[in-house]
Amino acid sequence: MGIRLRYLAHDLEVPLGEFFIGRSADCQLSLDDPLVSRRHALLTVGEGGVAIEDLGSRNGVLINGARIAGRQVLSDGDKIAIGGQEMFLLGAIEPSSAHSPRSAPLWTRQQNARTVDMSEMPAGEDDGATAIASRRSLPGLVPQHPDKRVHALSLIGSVADKALALGRVDEAERILQRSLSDILTKARDGGVGAVQPELVEKASMYAARLAAATGRGSWINYIFELNTRLELLLPAYLVDELYSVLRKVKAVDMSILRGYAKRLRERAGERTPAERFILQRIEGLERLGALK
């Protein structure tokens, strides 16, 4: 059983399992709101129902206007307030309707579940993460797998895509801004290998869409800086899209594009014929940008 969260007039699909909400880009739902802690709340979706837990956040979690303490079971239509953001739970079944052992709530922890020492969790979390770390260990809680970061960005991106389809360009940019900025920061701090290539491709794709919608060259700069720092070759479909986008945007920093093309040329001898063709297409972008 999956559920939906209605947020900003869009429905987000939430699958079975754990779903973190917070300000961090590592959360499945990342909220760009100073009142939201980095890891603010945890939704747990099971066959028998849905529960939400306040992870020790500074400003709390409100359900239908009342602040919760710890974990609370949710019902269909409940209003969830986190920081200054509101969302509604849709599609949840009532816990009382679950009778069979198979429908036991997922948040019921098993005795033999894997226990992870919280010292393994990434440093630098505030508020909610500090509260998690204050427990010596939590059964079954593991650091987020890179694939989940891709899934989280896809969820946020789907909301942004709907906003773009409705002509709400500023809203789409605001939805994606924090997550995309965090990815670039990780690339700047960690260099090659710091960010999963699939996540970089997703981030580049959404940046290209924002560039086309806003006309801002800063999103083109974002794409080339991100891929330069991680020494990744853009996929062919995205290079083709950039030919169209580059004609629409203003204030592209050509030094970043030239630097990217130069870095790729330095390793041209190691590339396959298909990759060398993409490199030629990128050099064409360099020439196109110089004509603007």
Burial class (CB in 10 A: 0-12, 13-18, 19+), 110: exposed
Sign of CA dihedral 198, 199, 201, 205: positive
Residue 53: phi and psi, rounded to 5, are -130, 130
* Distance of alpha carbon 183 from alpha carbon 180, whole angstroms: 5
pLDDT at site 93: 54
Per-residue pLDDT of the chain (292 residues; tens, 9 = 90+): 568 899 887 888 898 899 999 998 888 898 888 889 999 999 999 888 899 999 999 899 999 999 998 899 999 999 999 998 999 999 865 544 443 333 333 333 332 333 333 233 333 344 444 333 333 223 333 334 556 788 888 888 888 988 898 899 999 999 999 999 999 999 999 999 999 999 999 999 999 999 999 999 999 999 999 999 999 999 999 999 999 999 989 889 999 999 999 999 999 888 899 899 999 999 999 999 888 6
pLDDT (0 to 100) of residue 174: 93
According to the model, what pLDDT value does residue 147 have? 63
| Angle of the 146-165 helix axis to the 169-190 helix axis, nearest 10 | 150
Phi, then psi, of 210 in degrees rounded to 5: -65, -40
- DSSP β-ladder status, 79-82 and 137-139: unpaired
